[in-house]
Copies of this chain bind each other. A is one copy, B any other.
């Protein structure tokens, strides 16, 4: 369960591994636009379940039908393998 910081080389490969995500400094960021708030919050509920199960939680925000998720590993001050695993799990969710 211990997180391991990614090397600069590993970070440079993330864009290919994680469709839709952008590396912004020490964070991974992705945005979603849903049909309405109901679909946006249904997605957030599924992400919440994944996050709690992985013991790794997003920095995220929502405005009506838009959801923005930022992933970073606060304890290590950068991107870790746990951020990649959560991003991959989120990408496997079928958007509504």
Contacts and interface: CB of A to CB of B under 8 A. Distances in A.
Contact of A49 (B43, B52, B62): B52
A41 B49 contact: yes
Contacts of A60: 61-62
Number of copies: 4
Given A38-B49, A57-B63, A59-B63, 13 more contacts: A37-B49, A37-B57, A38-B52, A39-B93, A41-B48, A42-B93, A44-B44, A45-B48, A49-B52, A53-B53, A59-B61, A61-B61, A61-B62
Interface of A: 37-39, 41-46, 48-53, 55, 57-64, 93-94, 96
Q: Which 4 A-B pairs have the closest CB atoms?
A: A61-B61, A42-B46, A45-B45, A49-B52
